[in-house]
Amino acid sequence: MTGPMWLKRRRACQIETRMLGDWKVLEVCGRFVAGAPEKKFHEAIDRVLSNGAKRVIVDLTGSLLDDESVAQAVPAAYHRARAQGVDLRFVVSPGRAGGYYHMAGLEMTIPTFQRLNGAIEM
């Protein structure tokens, strides 16, 4: 799928929550950029943490990490979760879609996996 086609299919940022065993999974789809999408991400994380979840996975494989906002939002969410004793893990595609995540080197400091199965099985 070409870049413009990918953007066309994934325009607005959407965040859905579901349960997978004892894990709460936040699926982030669409363009992850500064502004409303970043605010929506923080609100979703806060909502999950306030509901008492102890094991959370943020699945970013369906999103395009389009600017540096992910490099600020992800560590902030991770540290808020760790302060509350929550096991928070991220699933990020290698390559273009996970661009800013990988450029910021977040996979070296935050539990990051390429597939959902890997995040759950560890």
What's the pLDDT tens digit per position in 71-106? 889 999 999 999 999 999 999 987 655 677 778 888
Q: What is the pLDDT of residue 5?
A: 57
Q: 36-50 and 69-83 are packed helices; what angle lies between their axes, rounded to 10 degrees? A: 10
Is residue 34 within 8 A of residue 69, CB to CB? The reply is yes
Q: How many CB atoms lie within 10 A of CB 78?
A: 20
pLDDT the model gives residue 89: 95
Residue ranges of domains in the chain: 3-121
| 116 or 68: which leads in pLDDT | 116
User: Using one digit for the tens of pLDDT, what is the confidence trace for 33-71?
Assistant: 889 999 999 999 999 999 999 999 999 988 887 778 888
Model pLDDT, residue 53: 92
Q: Say if residue 18's pLDDT is above 80.
A: yes
When the candidates are 3.40.190.10, 3.40.50.1260, 3.30.830.10, 3.30.750.24, the CATH number that belongs to 3-121 is: 3.30.750.24
Cα torsion angle, 42, 48, 78, 62, sign: negative
Closest CA to 29 of 16, 48, 42: 16
Of 101, 107, 108, residue with least CA distance to 66: 101
